[in-house]
Structure 1
C-alpha cells in the first residue's frame, strides 16, 4: 500500500507539471487521482459485483463468503449487491465461430455514414426509400434514464411498415445505465419486427450505435441476456429465408427526427417511481454506483481541513 501511495505521489507532479515541493494532496486532486485506498475500495466492490458473471463451478466461488454468492438469501448486506441479471459464459451462441456475426456477417449491417456530417437530408432520403419498399419494416427505439433516483429507466419501441404504425410498446427497465436500457429497447424492437408478415429487411433506428453492436455480441457483458435474445431471434429469422437482413441506423437524439422523435416522446411520457420492493439493477449500474460513492467520499475527505 505504501509503495502504491508513493508511486501516485510521484505521478501527480509529472501529470500536472508542478514543482516537487508542491503539496501532494492538492496535486493528486488536480491530476484526478483519488487516494489509493479509495481506488482499491472501488475495485474490490466492482470485483464482488462481477462474481455474478462467473459460472457456479468457477474456482473463485470457493473464495467468496456465502452471503456474497448470487443465490444467497437477501439480507441487509447483500441486497445492494444482488442483480437479477443472468450470465452465460459458455452459451452455444457465444462459442468461437458460432457468433451471429460469424455465421451471418452479410446479413447484419451498421450504418457507416459519418456521424459528424448533417444527417437529416441523408435520413430523410433513407426513410423515403424504406417506406416505398413493402418488404421493409422500420423500428424506432429509445431509452430514457431519469436524473432522479426516484424513477426507473424506461424504454420504447415502435414498429412501422411504410407510413402505417403496426405496434408500439413502452415499459420500465429498473435501475440501469443508458446503454443497458438502449440495448433492452433494441431487443424489444427486434423481437417485434421479426413477427411481422412479409418482412425481408428490418431497419432499426437508434441513438446508441454502441448498444446496437452489443446487441449482436453474445459474450459476457452487462445486459448479456438481451444480446442473447437478439442473437437467437435473428438466427432463427435468418435461417428461414436467405433474403432476410437487418440494418442498424444511428440517429442523434438532438435531431428529434421523424419516427425516432416519436419514440422519444413516447418513452418520456412514462414515469414510474421506484417501489418499495427491490428494483432490478444491472451490473454496470452497480459498478457506476460504487464509483460515484468513492468519488463522493474523496470529495468530502479532500474538503476536510484536517486532511
Structure 2
C-alpha cells in the first residue's frame, strides 16, 4: 500500500489537515496516512480550496527557469536576433504558461496574484528579447517585443475557448453540462448540468463553464462543425462527377528535355484548339514562394477567352506552403471564370495536378475555405445551364 494517497477538499477556511487511519498496515493509528497539500493529476495541481495557486506557481516558475536558460542562446550583442528570440519565447514558453489556464482564469476569478507571477516572468523574457535595461518599464519592453500583456493574452485565449463551444456537435458530451440554449440534442446531465440548478445557485456560482455558456449566446455567426458542402452526398463530385475532367498529359520517353518539349507542344495545341471555341475560357495559375521566410507567397491567375486576356490578378497568400498558394490561384481563376455569363467550358492550366484534385474536395483539411469557395462556385455554375464542364 505504498502508493496510497489522501487529499482533503475543504470548503472551510480552517488549515486543519488531519491524518487518516485506514485501518490496515502500514497506515494504522501509529503511522496514519498524512494528507497531501497539493494533488497533481494530468499535469494540473489541485489545492484544498481549488484556487490553483500551486498550479500557477509551478508553471510560472518553470517558465521563468526556461527563460533564464534561454539567455545563453543570445544577448543584446551576440547570438539570436530579437525576432528569433520572440519566436522561441512564443513557441516554447507561452505553452507552459497557458497550460490549464482555464482552471483558474475566468471573469469572476480572484487571480490578481497569479497574473502578477506571470507578468514578472514575461517581463524577464521581454528584457531578454529587446536587450533593454533592467529598469525599463514593463509595458514599454512588452510593446517593443510585440508581446501582449499577460491579462490580455489570457482574455483572448479564454474568448477563443468560449466560442469553440459553438463548434461542438449537437451530441458532444460536453453539451450535457450546458444550459438548455446550448445543450444541443443530448440529454442534460442529471446532477451536474446548469439546467438542474436553481436561479439562486446559478447566481452564486461562477466558473469557466458558466462563462462559456453565457458568452456563446453572444455569437451572431453560426459555426458548424462541418461545412454543408463537405457532407457526403452533397459534395461536388457526388452530383457533377461527369462534368469535371482531368487531363494529366502523361508523356514519358525517358529523356527529360524531349519529354518537356513534347509536353509543351501538346499544351500549345490544346490552347490553340480551345481558343477558337466561343464560350470557352482558359486560365493559367501559378504560385511563387520566397526563398526567405520573411516574405509572403504570391498567387497569380490570368484568364483568357478567344485568345484575348479577360482578367488578371495577383494575390498575397501569406506565409503558406506551396500547395496552399496553388489552391489560392486556382480558386481565383475558377471564381472569376464562372462569374462570366457566356462561359460554357473552363480549362485550367497549372503545374500542380495534386492541388487540382484537392480543389474539388471540400472536406476538412488545410485551406478549406478555398476549396469550399471553388465547390460553391462550380455547383452554382453547373446548375445554371446544361452541358458545362471544367477540365484541369
SS in 1 for 2:265: helix
Asked if 2 retains the 8 angstrom alpha-carbon contact of 1:158 and 1:168, the reply is yes
Q: Show the counterpart of 1:106.
A: 242
- By how many angstroms is 1:94 displaced? 1.3
Matched, 1:184 2:328: yes
Structure 1 residues not aligned, in runs of 5+? 1-40, 67-86, 249-307
Comparing 143-152 with 180-189, which one deviates more in the overlay? 143-152
Count of matched residue positions in the alignment of Structure 1 and Structure 2: 180
Matches within 5 A, 1:201-220: 201-220=345-364
Post-superposition CA distance 1:246-265 (Å, at most 9, x none) = 001xxxxxxxxxxxxxxxxx
In 1, the alpha carbon distance for the partners of 2:284 and 2:339 equals: 16
CA–CA separation in structure 1 for the residues paired with 2:242 and 2:343: 17
Partner of 2:382: 238
State yes or no: 1:133 paired with 2:277: yes
Q: Paired residue for 1:122?
A: 266
* C-alpha distance in structure 2 between counterparts of 1:243 and 1:160, whole Å: 20
What is the TM-score when the length of structure 2 is the normalising length? 0.42
CA offsets 1:208-256 (integer angstroms, 9 cap, x no match) = 11111111001001011100000000000000111111001xxxxxxxx
Uncovered stretches (5+) of structure 2, i.e. residues with no partner: 1-90, 100-160, 176-207, 209-222, 253-258
8 A Cα contact 1:89 1:219, kept in partner: no
1:165 aligns with 2:309: yes
CA distance in 1, matches of 2:348, 2:361: 16
Q: Which residue does 1:11 correspond to in 2?
A: none
Higher Cα radius of gyration = 2
TM-score if structure 1 supplies the norm length?
0.53
**Are the structure 2 counterparts of residues 123 and 55 from structure 1 closer, same or farther at C-alpha, using a change threshold of 3 Å?**
farther
Given that 1:159 and 1:166 are in contact with CA atoms closer than 8 Å, whether structure 2 keeps it comes out as yes
| 1:91 equivalent among 216, 224, 227 | 227
Q: 1:30-49 CA distances to partner (integer Å, 9 max, x unpaired)?
A: xxxxxxxxxxx9xxx9xx9x
Aligned to 2:298: 154
Is 1:54–1:89's contact at 8 Å kept on the other side of the alignment? no
Q: CA deviation at 1:164?
A: 0.6
- Judge conservation of contact 1:140–1:204 (CA < 8 Å) in 2: yes
- The root-mean-square deviation of aligned C-alpha atoms, in Å, is 3.1
Once residues 164 and 226 of structure 2 are traced to their aligned partners in structure 1, the CA distance between those partners, rounded to angstroms, is: 11
Give 3-state SS (helix, strand or coil) of 2:278's partner. Answer: coil
Maintained 8 Å contact 2:296/2:319: yes
